[in-house]
Structure 1
Amino acid sequence: MNPQDLKLIVQDKYGRIAQKGGSCCGETGCCEGDVDYSVFNDDYSGQEGYNKEADLGLGCGLPTEYAGIKDGDHVLDLGSGAGNDCFVARTQAGDNGKVTGLDFTDEMIHKANENLKKTGFRNIEFVKGDIEEMPLPDASFDVVISNCVLNLVPDKQKAFSEIFRVLKPMGHFSISDVVIKGKLPEG
């Protein structure tokens, strides 16, 4: 499968999830096979800044827990979805910080902005864009986070080059994702 086709499949699937309001596993035609993806999802409910409406059950960890986000940091969340990690990161970055969520799915950007309207926060923004070609300036983020998204990016080298490009000198990233050692069987 070529990379553009893969991106279109991801956009379609996550667009339907955003419209539905959560993971559609268990429904015919959404998740492939009989895989239960909820096994990867961590519980955010105890995290300061948690926004239940922004939690679509799509993450596989708590990158904000290990990101070392400080008051005043400018944070970028790759594949921000409905904004779950952005709202937690904003609590850590405080009023002096800024959080930018990047997603390439229109429906997710819309859902995130709807969730943002309910918070009253003025230092979060959601931007539409591709992780392999971020529409963001060089050296503009103290911290980059990502939650179970980079496994979906076809060109990992481009993605990590872009992460490096947008990080400020001495910036850092915290990624939670699924990784496999070896090869998956075709089935």
Structure 2
Amino acid sequence: MGTEGHDLVPYESFLEKTRQSSSVSLHAGFLSRTYARQLMKEGETAALQSARLWLPPNTTQLQGNEFHYNLFESMITGRNLAEDAPSDTFRGIFQAQLLKDVAMAHRINTIIEGHPDDRFLVLAGNGHVSHYQGVPERVLAQHPDLIPQSCLIVSRVWNETTLLSEATAAQIVSSSSYENAADYILAYQETRTEEAVKKDVAEMYNQVGDTAHLEGNLMRARAILKYLEYTDDDIAVAGRDAYNYQGVGNPHKHAQIQPGERVLDVGCGLGVDSFIAAHRTGPHGQVIGIDLSHSEVEHANRRAQSREMKHLEFIVADMEHIPLPDASVDVIVSNGAFCLAPNKKKAFAELFRVLRPGGRISICTSTLRSHQLPEGVQWPLCMEMFIVKDQLGPLCAELGFENIVVDDSNSKMVYELPEETGTLNPDRHRVHGNNPAFRHLEEINE
């Protein structure tokens, strides 16, 4: 790693070290998020009882050391691990982390005991293994004889054109929370197919859907909707679902949905814009929401049933393969989903296919002002797929759309919320959260 007590070795050299073992076995410990959610809702005793088959016998409590909590909290908040003390805000969530650590370590220990002559490669996230906390802490405590034979690796994407030098590795380590976190850094280049991108997107938003039932900050959500020029009637329709709003703009301004129309909401997420669209069509219209995320679609359908909106349904589908006939919808809205479409042309062509002649689309999406993002900075997956704003009009015209308007009149990325709107619920999952790798985005406002 380029720091005292650590090494930087080429990947080929690392592979050679693994080949020297008589056998290499890969095992992945898994514990359903169900038990973690139960722990947060019902407490430690109930969760341990439900998850007893995954845990060591007679497990009666979850114990973690203070350094592990310090590390865990810093990964959530972006706080420098070596500076200041952690807040107590995430103590409850930390217990859920420990539950998964204990279960995974127990599974690994069981396998090791059954294969005493084998060597093992354990794959887990940084939160489970960094600084030998979590899983390795428990495995090595039970098998201290393995300590001199073990090493710990953290991975990092390295998409630069030059090779990762020892000096650069040291700089990476010292500028992040990884200092002394492991014995090696595995630097790798990442290339994604369009299908892999869609899978990553679905996984990210499935996590959002898993916590969508938790109470959010309704005052804050309503302030954002008001800023984006949603009407008072729209905000009233959104109701308590407003805190599950996920858009980047207001597609209803230009969609002008009328009673009785058939509307398609592409990338509907948790359904807020679909609820507003269904209110505008009335019971004689129809609204269909599609999204890649199974958990978000499930949540949106539950909310539609609770609202008794029988003319609204949500289905899991890809915007590049919409399960509707040609020329079958009057209006298409989308709010933020096209940010994540890896093939913009194919997606817009599919919209053109299902839209009836004379129909309307209103798409809100974030765009780039130049043809590429600045180099040397890590960008979220969605931003890597943003389209250049000046390409939108010509692309749509090429596909056959007419009367194309690109409205960037309300395009600021940062809105100063009133102080009284309060804070976010830390138990609700957000896609980027407080990832320190993306802190530079706070300086961008257009």
Verify: 1:10 aligned to 2:201, yes or no: yes
Aligned residue type for 2:355: L
Larger radius of gyration: 2
Verify: 1:59 aligned to 2:247, yes or no: yes
Kindly provide the CA deviation profile for residues 52-101 of structure 1, in whole angstroms up to 9, marking residues without a partner as x.
Answer: 32642321111123211111110000001111011100111112111000
Verify: 1:127 aligned to 2:315, yes or no: yes
After alignment, is 92-101 or 48-57 more displaced?
48-57
Where does structure 1 differ by over 2 angstroms across 4 or more consecutive aligned residues? 41-46, 51-55
| CA distance in 1 between partners of 2:231 and 2:357 (Å) | 33
Alpha carbons of structure 1 residues 14 and 6: separation in structure 2 relative to 1, 3 Å = same
Alpha carbons of structure 1 residues 115 and 70: separation in structure 2 relative to 1, 3 Å = same
The equivalent residue for 2:373 is 184
Aligned 8 A contact 1:83 1:101 in 2: yes
Q: What is the 5 A alignment of 1:105-184?
A: 105-182=293-370, 183-184=372-373
Aligned 8 A contact 1:73 1:93 in 2: yes
Aligned 8 A contact 2:263 2:331 in 1: yes
How far off is 1:151 after superposition? 1.2
| CA distance in 2 between partners of 1:50 and 1:154 (Å) | 29
Aligned 8 A contact 2:270 2:299 in 1: yes
Secondary structure at the aligned position of 1:90 is classed as helix
Aligned 8 A contact 2:294 2:316 in 1: yes
| CA distance in 2 between partners of 1:21 and 1:175 (Å) | 24
Specify every segment of 5 or more residues in structure 2 that has no aligned partner in the other structure, as ranges: 1-191, 214-220, 378-446
Aligned residue type for 1:173: I
Aligned 8 A contact 1:51 1:87 in 2: no
Specify every segment of 5 or more residues in structure 1 that has no aligned partner in the other structure, as ranges: 23-37
Kindly provide the CA deviation profile for residues 24-47 of structure 1, in whole angstroms up to 9, marking residues without a partner as x.
Answer: xxxxxxxxxxxxxx9xx6445831
Identical amino acids, percent of aligned pairs? 35
| CA distance in 1 between partners of 2:295 and 2:238 (Å) | 21
TM-score, reference length from structure 2: 0.37
Secondary structure at the aligned position of 1:158 is classed as helix
| CA distance in 2 between partners of 1:45 and 1:115 (Å) | 21
How far off is 1:130 after superposition? 0.3
How far off is 1:51 after superposition? 3.7
Aligned residue type for 2:202: Q
| CA distance in 2 between partners of 1:166 and 1:54 (Å) | 29
Higher fraction of helix: 2
Aligned 8 A contact 1:49 1:90 in 2: no
How far off is 1:155 after superposition? 0.6
Verify: 1:97 aligned to 2:285, yes or no: yes
Aligned 8 A contact 1:55 1:82 in 2: no
Equivalenced residue count is 170
| CA distance in 1 between partners of 2:334 and 2:265 (Å) | 6
